Amino acid sequence: MPKRNVTPYTTPMTLGKIVTKVHQSLLACTAAIMLTALACAGGSDDVGDATSTSTREPNTTAEATTTTLSVQDEVEETYLAFVAMLDRITTTTVDPNDPELAQRMVDPALGGFRTQLSTWQAQGQIWLAGDQSRHEVERVVVKPDGMSAEVIDCVVANDALVAAGTTAVSFPPPRTDRGVTTMLNQSGRWMVSKTEVTQHWDGVAGCAA
């Protein structure tokens, strides 16, 4: 999938490892990042106990002049916008006060990611997207009450944390993570609450093989 989560594969991150610059680089032991930094290494083989697993189904409603997204599609669309935001911020300003953060994230993900951004900004560092980084949403699970959902993501990343202004870099070996990002419906808007890595493989392997 187009790169979505930013996952710091070279250093541990609070948001887990921002799932490849969500290349997901969103965002996990404490908050998200990537799915993407997503990341306490390891994890179980289960992607979580969802009370209801909903797979996206074709919209069979008569197509008029407008198209209504299913809940699953709406969640995925919002998640991808979150990933794009992570890509933008982590590779440019690393600004913990970027207004879009509060539009797409809530605590604990929001607070954890802002803390990490503050650290990178103070150290004059940004992320560079790896030459093998990519990301793909495997499925979206919406809970029965329609107020929370999980996005299961497969991320390959070899991003590098470098000094701002760096134009050339030797990227690290890739790693593959399967992550789960929890999203909450708040006043009709889907927000990222946390991200965690459930499985990890060295190289391009596992869910990416």
* Domain-embedded: residue 48: no
Provide the pLDDT confidence category of residue 167 given band limits of 50, 70 and 90.
confident
Residues 76-107 pLDDT 10s: 999 999 999 999 999 999 999 999 999 999 99
Q: What is the DSSP string of 29-75?
A: -SS--------SS---S-----S---------S---SS-PPPHHHHH
Residue 150 sits in a domain whose CATH number is 3.10.450
Q: How many residues in total does the chain contain?
A: 209
Question: Which of the two residues, 192 and 6, has the higher pLDDT score?
Answer: 192
Residues spanned by the domain of 200: 71-208
* Domain-embedded: residue 151: yes
Count: domains in the chain: 1
* Domain-embedded: residue 180: yes
Sign of CA dihedral 41, 174, 171, 139: negative
* Domain-embedded: residue 62: no
Residues 11-21 pLDDT 10s: 334 344 443 44
